[in-house]
């Protein structure tokens, strides 16, 4: 028997077995009772059998020319008694949402039925079940610099700064479990890179290989297939996610939605992909990766499936495709499926120089670009498991899926839309060219930290703010110049050797050694205020609401017995003052608005001026400052948060809240009590201003 005869006999055996299973489920389709709503598990099995029994082999070009090549329609109708026989369907099933899947003898009959169904008022939409393919390779020729890549297989991860962001996650104890579903061909369960990362017990297949040695094969494990049918695509995609999240708690859920008939021939349909999306979302995954697609027409069914996943909190990341075309044509009639769907993050491909890969699709629907040229990852071939290079938006997409998983760790409350915004707004801009979207996706901007150096009570140098990358050496502190008689005595808190987050360091000072006093009493002429440097504790114009009182203004720097001898207001109708010799005072705003000066005169002959602005409305908070946004406590300990408002006279007050009360509670006064090990986030709010303090309990 020839090889073709064997395949023909095997194929007929598969189809006969599949059709028998379908007939058991749907013995008659002449009435609505013959197309019952199936539960999700039952529908999955019936769908696989339906697709397998009416399988069509086609190239991407043939499928693009004929969207009806599967001879199958997807119908959403409010008619609970839709009769498939009335429209000439030979098979029919209905999912738990009441969407019908009608099979016809030919593409011509499917087209004719679509026209009739569109005329029915109960029809919400009707569309062909379009064939979709794995996203084929782009140019495989060696680009300039390929020799350097051979020596460094991690350039793509370094370029996106995965190692540094992973370090940040580990050091801040944010390594919580996340799951990325890979909707693709199968994945090798035996590959060393993936063995401990795959959720094998939850793996699912919605795709049928009609030429397999088994009657109906739904294997999601490529290593279980006949060597001639193994496909490296899904394994390569999964390997990229595994490498980008190395050392982190990220698992991969294999969901097989396209066949494994060779790298460029694996195909599925909008139906298998849609059901794969629904299944992954039902498993509670954090991210869905789809390095699949093809040119076609819009699919309302697929849009519904994506919208359902996003509504459940799933980030959906898809490839832009490798046809060198616009993802959505100017007329909107031709689109790349599923890249045109708004709720997806659409990823294009660039090389190590961040230059657009010539075959990568482009346009207004493109969100970001990522490494997709000569990417080293896991593969399975006829020879078994191994490693190899591959190219295309299929390789760019899992980089962004891995990025989304890590952002889910650091932003656990963020919605899919907020994760997408984080990726796009923090991308490195590569210009306004439609081939780059918002730019190159990477963690660089998210890893920038601000270091502020404050002069403190006796410092004379200007406050300075510097920017530094997380994990890099702490930036050099400014020159430390203090008041006469004071010398620099270090920083509070002490500077860490690496930048661990936004931080404010305040200079400490100590008195310089005093010169020896003269033993001749005749040289003593009276009190000496050599070290006294009286000044206002607030250097800006202080806003006050009418009738507001404040005790927060005072004279500081009084030394050597110096004291305040008088207090005076320049306009008592606007503000009055009652002060003490130690520099403290109570200022009360009057009924008149405008500016006023409060002057304090000292025994050393100095005058200290406070400038006030009396206003009608609320004194709003413009900024909240705190010495450190990260607090480390041991279980059972307490700590008082001491935020400072700008201006100090804000009338909006402070509120403290904790969302992780089992770990840390906070009182109305800002007192923390560590309850149990873990990480909590305390929100400090005043008016419309909010800051968050991370509390790590060990």
HEC profile of 127-179: EECCEEEECCCCCCCCCCCHHHHHHCCCHHHHHHCHHHHHHHHHHCCCCCCEE
Residue, of 265 and 223, whose pLDDT is higher: 223
Domain 623-697 bears CATH identifier 2.60.40.1080: yes
Pick the catalytic residue from 394, 569, 604, 658: 394
Q: Nearest CA to 349 among 380, 330, 378, 323? A: 323
- pLDDT score, position 519: 54
The answer to whether the beta carbons of residues 238 and 182 sit under 8 Å apart is: yes
- Residue whose pair of structure tokens reads 């390929």 in the numeric block: 146
Fold of 154-443: Rossmann fold (3.40.50)
Average of per-residue pLDDT across 296-325: 94
* pLDDT range class, residue 135, cuts 50, 70, 90: low
247-272 residue pLDDT tens: 999 999 999 998 775 434 557 889 98
236 an active-site residue? no
Q: Which of 9-18, 208-217, 353-362, 590-599 has the lowest average pLDDT?
A: 9-18
What φ, ψ does residue 25 adopt, rounded to 5°? -80, -40
* Residues 659-677: tens digit of each pLDDT: 899 999 999 999 999 999 9
Does 184 participate in catalysis according to the annotation? yes
Q: Are 401 and 206 in contact (CB under 8 A)?
A: no
Give me the catalytic one of 54, 233, 236, 458: 233
CA distance 691 to 688: 10
> What is the pTM assigned to this prediction?
0.67
| Residue 405, burial from CB neighbour count under 10 angstroms (0-12, 13-18, 19+) | buried
The CATH 2.60.40.4270 domain(s) of the chain lie at: 449-511
Mean pLDDT of 613-642: 88
Given this model, what pLDDT does residue 215 score? 35
pLDDT for the residue numbered 264: 41
DSSP state, residue 584? B
* 177-207 per-position pLDDT tens digit: 999 999 998 899 999 999 899 999 999 988 7
Residues 6+ apart with CB under 8 A from 248: 166, 169, 170, 175, 406, 409
- Amino acid 477: pLDDT: 81
The confidence band for 306, taking pLDDT boundaries of 50, 70 and 90, is very high
Lowest mean pLDDT, pick from 62-66, 141-145, 202-206, 312-316: 141-145
Tokens encoding 551:
């005790």
The residues of the chain that CATH labels 2.60.40.1080 are 532-615, 623-697
Could you tell me the fold of the domain covering 532-615? Immunoglobulin-like (2.60.40)
d(CA 352, CA 144): 10
Name the token pair of 517: 């006093």
**Burial state string for 548-566 with b = 16 or more CB within 10 A and e = fewer than 16:** bebeebbbebbbeebbbee
Residues of 515-524 as b/e, b for ≥16 C-beta within 10 angstroms?
A: eeeeeeeeee
25 pLDDT above the threshold of 90 = no
- Centroid of chain to Cα 571: 55
User: Does the domain at residues 449-511 carry the CATH identifier 2.40.50.140?
Assistant: no
β pairing state of 91-94 and 99-103: antiparallel
Q: At what angle do helices 393-410 and 416-425 cross, to 10 degrees?
A: 110
CB-count burial class (<10 Å; 0-12, 13-18, 19+) for 4: exposed
pLDDT for 398-430, tens place per residue?
999 999 999 999 999 999 999 999 999 999 999
Query: Both tokens of residue 441?
Result: 């996706």
Backbone angles phi, psi at 92, to 5 degrees: -160, 145
Given 91, 129, 136, 184, the catalytic residue: 184
pLDDT at residue 2 greater than cutoff 70: no
Q: Which of 110-119, 161-170, 216-225, 376-385 has the lowest mean pLDDT?
A: 216-225
Residues forming CATH 3.40.50.200 domain(s) in the chain: 154-443
Contacts of 5 (CB under 8 A, 6+ apart): none
């Amino acid at each position: 028997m020839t090889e073709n005869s064997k395949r023909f006999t095997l194929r007929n055996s598969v189809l006969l077995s599949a059709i028998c299973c379908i007939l058991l489920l749907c013995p008659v389709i002449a009435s609505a009772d013959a197309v019952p709503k199936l539960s999700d598990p039952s529908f999955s099995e019936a769908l696989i059998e339906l697709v397998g029994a009416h399988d069509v082999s086609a190239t991407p070009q043939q499928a693009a020319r004929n969207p009806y090549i599967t001879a199958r329609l997807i119908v959403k109708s409010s008619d609970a008694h839709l009769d498939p026989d009335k429209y000439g369907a030979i098979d029919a099933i209905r999912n738990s949402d009441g969407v019908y899947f009608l099979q016809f003898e030919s593409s011509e009959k499917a087209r004719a039925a679509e026209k009739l169904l569109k005329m029915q008022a109960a029809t919400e939409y009707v569309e062909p079940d379009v064939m979709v393919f794995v996203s084929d390779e782009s140019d495989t020729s060696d680009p300039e610099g390929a020799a350097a890549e051979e020596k460094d297989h991690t350039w793509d991860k370094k370029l996106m700064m995965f190692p540094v962001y992973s370090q940040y996650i580990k050091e801040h104890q944010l390594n919580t479990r996340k799951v990325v579903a890979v909707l693709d061909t199968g994945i090798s369960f035996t590959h060393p890179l993936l063995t401990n990362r795959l959720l094998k017990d939850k793996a699912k297949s919605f795709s049928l290989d009609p030429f397999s040695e088994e009657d109906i094969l739904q294997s999601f494990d490529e290593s279980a297939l006949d060597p001639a049918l193994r496909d490296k695509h899904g394994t390569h995609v999964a390997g990229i996610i595994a490498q980008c999240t190395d050392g982190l708690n990220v698992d991969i859920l294999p969901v097989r939605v396209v066949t494994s008939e060779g790298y460029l021939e694996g195909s599925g349909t909008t139906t298998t992909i849609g059901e794969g999306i629904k299944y992954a979302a039902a498993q509670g995954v954090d991210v869905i990766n789809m390095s699949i697609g093809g040119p076609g027409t819009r699919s309302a069914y697929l849009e519904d499936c994506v919208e359902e996943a996003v509504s459940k909190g799933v980030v959906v990341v898809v490839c832009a495709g490798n046809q060198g075309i616009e993802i959505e044509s100017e007329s909107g009639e031709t689109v790349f499926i599923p890249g045109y769907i708004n709720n997806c993050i659409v990823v294009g491909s660039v090389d190590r120089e961040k230059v657009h890969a010539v075959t990568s699709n482009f346009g207004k629907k493109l969100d970001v670009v990522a490494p997709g040229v000569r990417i080293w990852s896991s593969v399975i071939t006829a020879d078994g498991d191994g490693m190899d290079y591959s190219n295309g938006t299929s390789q760019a997409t899992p980089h962004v899926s891995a990025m989304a998983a890590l952002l889910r760790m650091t932003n656990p409350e963020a919605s899919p839309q907020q994760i997408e915004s984080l990726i796009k707004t923090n991308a490195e801009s590569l210009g306004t060219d439609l081939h780059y979207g918002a730019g190159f996706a990477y963690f660089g901007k998210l890893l920038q930290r601000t270091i502020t150096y404050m002069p403190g009570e006796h410092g004379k140098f200007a406050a300075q703010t510097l920017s530094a990358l997380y994990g890099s050496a702490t930036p050099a502190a400014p020159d430390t110049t203090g008041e006469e008689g004071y010398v620099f005595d270090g920083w509070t808190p002490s500077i860490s050797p690496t930048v661990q987050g936004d931080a404010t360091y305040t200079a400490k000072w100590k008195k310089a050694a005093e010169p020896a006093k003269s033993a001749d009493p005749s040289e003593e002429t009276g009190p000496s205020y050599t070290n006294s440097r009286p000044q206002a504790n607030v250097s800006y114009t202080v806003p006050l609401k009418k009738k507001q009182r404040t005790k927060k203004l005072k004279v500081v720097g009084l030394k050597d017995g110096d004291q305040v001898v008088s207090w005076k207001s320049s306009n008592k109708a606007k503000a009055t003052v009652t002060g003490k010799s130690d520099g403290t005072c109570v200022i009360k705003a009057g009924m008149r608005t405008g500016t006023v000066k409060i002057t304090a005169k000292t025994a050393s002959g100095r005058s200290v001026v406070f400038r006030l602005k009396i206003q009608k409305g609320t004194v709003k908070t413009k900024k909240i400052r705190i010495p450190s946004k990260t607090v480390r406590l041991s279980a059972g300990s307490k700590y008082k948060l001491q935020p400072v408002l700008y201006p100090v006279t804000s009338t909006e007050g402070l509120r403290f809240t904790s969302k992780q009360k089992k770990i840390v509670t906070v009182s109305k006064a800002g007192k923390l009590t560590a309850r149990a090990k873990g990480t909590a986030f305390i929100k400090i709010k005043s008016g419309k201003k909010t800051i968050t303090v991370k509390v790590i309990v060990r």
